[in-house]
Amino acid sequence: MNSNDLRVGQGFDIHRFTDDPDRILVLGGCVFDGERGLEGHSDADAIAHACSDALLGAAGLGDIGMHFPDTDPAWKGADSLTLLQQVVRLVAADGWGVANIDCAVVCERPKLAPRRDEMQQTLTSIVGAPVSVKGNRAERLGALGRNEGIACFATALLVRGSSETELR
Ligand code: MG
């Protein structure tokens, strides 16, 4: 494999909590009952959004705001797993297979560890390659430390003309 056949991408997303009781909290495609939801045009799944941006960045295909603008009513309340799936298709159409994605989520609540396997399995099935999710607290520093929202950093690796399964 030639180094020209690899691309790394970084994605970041942050959403603030809302007191709107109609907003449900969705992270990594999983619903967290009994937790405050996040503000956003779509379902505000910060993990799925960061993964999408990491993939688009790696492929040099812009960002999710460009492909799925929040001014477009088509994406209002959108299931972000559908967006992520479309991003995987865009990247594949450009000749890239996903090797893996690694996510670091920063929040005080909810506790992610009990749902980590479920989020990883959900994201992995959508992406078609391993997706790992790690939770980190902000140690009471700043807005995230005051439990005002949730941020996610994601790193994606793409391989030219190959899927993760072919690599093995
Ligand atoms: Mg977002």
In 3D space, the residue among 152, 97, 149, 100 whose CA is nearest the CA of residue 123 turns out to be 100
d(CA 49, ligand 1 centre) in Å: 5
How far the first Cα of the chain sits from its last, in Å, is: 13
DSSP 8-state assignment for residue 23:
P
For ion ligand 1, residues whose CB falls within 5 Å: 13, 49
Q: Distance between CA 95 and CA 106 in Å, rounded?
A: 32
d(CA 15, ligand 1 centre) in Å: 6
Position 75 scores a pLDDT of 75
Q: Distance between CA 31 and CA 101 in Å, rounded?
A: 21
Mean pLDDT by 10 residues, the chain (168 residues): 88 97 96 96 95 98 91 81 96 97 97 97 98 96 97 98 52
- pTM of the model as a whole: 0.93
Position 166 scores a pLDDT of 46
d(CA 128, ligand 1 centre) in Å: 21
Q: Distance between CA 60 and CA 58 in Å, rounded?
A: 6
The alpha carbon dihedral of 111, 107, 137, 146 has a sign of negative
d(CA 87, ligand 1 centre) in Å: 14
Position 69 scores a pLDDT of 84
Which residues are bridge partners to 149 per DSSP?
Answer: 16
Position 70 scores a pLDDT of 80
Q: Going from the N-terminus, what domains does the chain have, and what CATH number goes with each?
A: 3-167 (3.30.1330.50)
Position 168 scores a pLDDT of 37
Position 167 scores a pLDDT of 43
State how beta strands 131-136 and 149-160 pair: unpaired
d(CA 167, ligand 1 centre) in Å: 31
d(CA 62, ligand 1 centre) in Å: 15
d(CA 68, ligand 1 centre) in Å: 11
